[in-house]
Amino acid sequence: MLGKLLSKKDKDSNKEHQEILNRLSKMNISEMRLYVNNKLKDFQICEDGLSEVMSKLISKNEQTGVNFIGDDAMDTKIKKAFDLVILVAGSKKITVTAIESMNKFMEIYAAMIQKFDVDNKQTYDSKLKKAIDISIKNVAIMSEIQKKNNILGK
């Protein structure tokens, strides 16, 4: 369990990890949202999947060198991406790796978040920060529960 929280992978999970990578690499924001909400019938949410969703949001396109959410992105795509990060933060399958990716997301898109908030009279900066704080607390609680279970021998 603690390995899951820290998002450590063993050798047996490489095949599963590759399948997750392949599926998520083809998804758009709406499909990733369905995945995080666990609404896809044939594809269950997991710790690796959440980390990969966040990795995809902070990654740059290798050919164009542009971030996943470019400066010229429409407001709806930007809003969906912000909402997706909030959904990931609220997931029960959250890991330390995903939280680190959320912090990196906040660093990469800080100017875009501020501009979006001003232009659209929103408060995503504070919503995202609050969601990250809650996810950190959730991971701490899960690790405490795991620690107690290990002491009890369960």
**pLDDT by residue for the chain (154 residues), tens digit each?**
555 555 555 545 678 778 888 888 889 999 999 999 999 888 889 888 999 999 999 988 777 778 888 888 899 999 999 999 999 999 989 999 999 999 999 999 999 999 999 999 999 999 999 999 999 999 999 899 989 888 887 6
Give CA–CA dist 99/95, Å, rounded. 6
Dihedral sign, Cα of residue 14, residue 43, residue 128, residue 108: positive
Q: Supply the pLDDT for residue 42.
A: 85
The confidence score (pLDDT) of residue 138 equals 92
Separation of alpha carbons 10 and 65, rounded Å:
32
Query: Which residue has tokens 């009890």?
Result: 152
List CB contacts of 113: < 8 A, sequence separation 6 or more.
82, 106, 124, 125, 128
pLDDT of residue 140: 93
Cα–Cα nearest to 17, from 44, 48, 38:
48
> Angle CA(101)–CA(16)–CA(147) in degrees, nearest 5?
60
Question: Which one-letter DSSP state was computed for residue 21?
Answer: H
Cα distance between residue 142 and residue 93, in whole Å = 10
Are the beta carbons of 37 and 30 closer than 8 angstroms?
Answer: no
pTM for the complete prediction? 0.85
Say how far apart CA 154 and CA 144 lie, in whole Å. 14
Count of domains forming the chain: 1
Q: Which domain holds residue 98?
A: 2-152
Q: What is the pLDDT of residue 11?
A: 45
> Quick one: pLDDT at residue 4?
54
Alpha-carbon distance of 15 to 21, in angstroms, equals: 10
How many residues does the structure list for the chain? 154
CB 58 within 8 A of CB 12: no
